[in-house]
């Protein structure tokens, strides 16, 4: 490994990391296994990554668990993913509490099965008082859809006379998003070699550093997360400004 996370100064570490967990299906296909097996191994990668995020002292970690567009997948795969998600939440709840992790889901909950909504509610309630890692689960989520619902909420408030259109600014729009209360995303990681955002945290990632790795999600672990954080620490983040020498 070239460099280490210890070499990255604290001020150059990301506060909020977001991960597009891609490659479960390809991982399974490469091994002659059904796609569902890839999703099951992907759940193990989630466990490893959350543990590593806690150890590295991240403030927030948001995982792209299921997109709004994923509803178009075959029913058998969607059903398996939903069952896997509910089981994961119930099985990991105690460990999340022990690690002081607070869980919050973002996305359209109305489309989720009752079992998943109930598991989310139990986990969010059980971890609500935790003050460690803020773990966001983007489920039935789309960045464009989230911005749209925020714009509608602000428009409705303006129609009711609770808000002047002229007073709508970045802060108010950001506060209407599902990710409200979290810092902007510093680092977006996408596994499997694909290089696109796929409608993930579009507003929140406006100035995020992008890190693409060929590693398939089921193989992702703490070392892979640390490699991404080291790469982030070497980036020169200017936020549209120009460095002045001297």
Comparing C-alpha atoms, which of 111, 7, 15 is closest to residue 67?
Answer: 111
Comparing C-alpha atoms, which of 65, 1, 18, 25 is closest to residue 207?
Answer: 18
Q: How far apart are CA 67 and CA 168, in angstroms?
A: 28
Active site residue 186: no
Phi-psi region of 138 (alpha: psi -120 to 50; beta: other; left: phi over 0): beta
> Choosing from 22, 24, 146, 186, which is the catalytic residue?
22
> Choosing from 2, 24, 70, 90, which is the catalytic residue?
70
- Strands, sheet with 102-106, edge to edge from the N-terminal-most edge strand: 102-106, 134-141, 60-67, 16-20, 187-190, 209-212
Q: How far apart are CA 63 and CA 49, in angstroms?
A: 10
Active site residue 22: yes
Comparing C-alpha atoms, which of 204, 220, 215, 172 is closest to residue 42?
Answer: 220
Catalytic residues: 22, 70
């Amino acid at each position: 490994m070239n460099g280490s996370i210890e070499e990255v100064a604290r001020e150059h570490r990301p506060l909020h990391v977001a991960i597009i967990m891609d490659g479960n299906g390809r991982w399974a296909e490469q091994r002659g296994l059904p796609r569902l097996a890839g999703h099951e191994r992907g759940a193990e990668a989630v466990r490893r990554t959350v543990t590593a995020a806690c150890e590295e002292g991240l403030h927030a970690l948001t995982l792209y668990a299921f997109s709004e567009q994923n509803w178009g997948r075959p029913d058998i795969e969607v059903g398996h993913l939903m069952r896997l998600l509910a089981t994961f939440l119930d099985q990991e709840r105690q460990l999340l509490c022990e690690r002081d992790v607070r869980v919050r889901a973002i996305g359209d909950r109305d489309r989720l099965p009752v079992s998943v909504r109930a598991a989310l509610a139990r986990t969010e309630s059980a971890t609500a008082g935790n003050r460690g890692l803020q773990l966001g689960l983007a489920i039935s989520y789309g960045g464009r859809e989230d911005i749209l619902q925020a714009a509608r909420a602000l428009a409705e408030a303006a129609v009711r006379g609770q808000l002047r259109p002229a007073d709508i600014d970045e802060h108010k729009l950001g506060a209407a998003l599902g990710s409200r209360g979290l810092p902007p995303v510093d680092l977006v990681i996408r596994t499997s070699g694909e290089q696109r955002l796929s409608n993930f945290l579009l507003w929140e990632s406006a100035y995020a550093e992008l890190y693409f790795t060929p590693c398939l999600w089921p193989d992702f672990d703490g070392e892979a997360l640390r490699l991404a954080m080291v790469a982030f620490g070497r980036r020169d983040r200017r936020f549209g400004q120009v460095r002045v020498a001297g």
